[in-house]
Amino acid sequence: AQSVTQLGSHVSVSEGALVLLRCNYSSSVPPYLFWYVQYPNQGLQLLLKYTSAATLVKGINGFEAEFKKSETSFHLTKPSAHMSDAAEYFCAVSRRDFGNEKLTFGTGTRLTIIP
């Protein structure tokens, strides 16, 4: 079984401030981990993914995430928030064994940027 917990359904940060969105996972086998972003009335776009290479993963739009096995975490960060970062963010986990590629999503974190 696998699951994802996103702490904080709503996060507000000032423009230029650090963005930190939290994700903890549970998986019985080594996981793949993903962050997706959803802008209003749009589909999901992949921000970044961890697939067992480097534990610090860089994604699009200046975002990065660090896989910490000891903490079962995969928090998403960005050093300086921009107004265009306002969106909903989803963390997701998948098993790393072939034939079990189902994604399990967290409930999402809505990020608001304060001018």
Partner 1 sequence: NAGVTQTPKFQVLKTGQSMTLQCAQDMNHEYMSWYRQDPGMGLRLIHYSVGAGITDQGEVPNGYNVSRSTTEDFPLRLLSAAPSQTSVYFCASSLFKDRNYEQYFGPGTRLTVT
Other Cβ atoms within 10 Å of 95 Cβ, number: 19
Residue 112 binds to partner 1 (criterion: CB under 8 A): no
Q: Which stretch binds partner 1 (CB under 8 A): 13-21, 38-46, 58-66, 71-79?
A: 38-46
Q: Does 44 bind partner 1 (CB under 8 A)?
A: yes
Task: Give long-range contacts, CB 8 A cutoff, 24+ apart: 5-9.
Answer: 5/106, 6/89, 6/90, 6/91, 6/106, 6/107, 6/108, 6/109, 8/109, 9/107, 9/108, 9/109, 9/110
- Is residue 90 close enough to count as binding partner 1 by CB under 8 A? yes
> From the list 46, 56, 60, 114, which residue makes contact with partner 1 (rule: CB under 8 A)?
46
- 78's tokens: 């960005």
43 binds partner 1 (CB under 8 A): yes
The binding track of 10-29 with respect to partner 1, each residue x by CB under 8 A or -, is --------------------
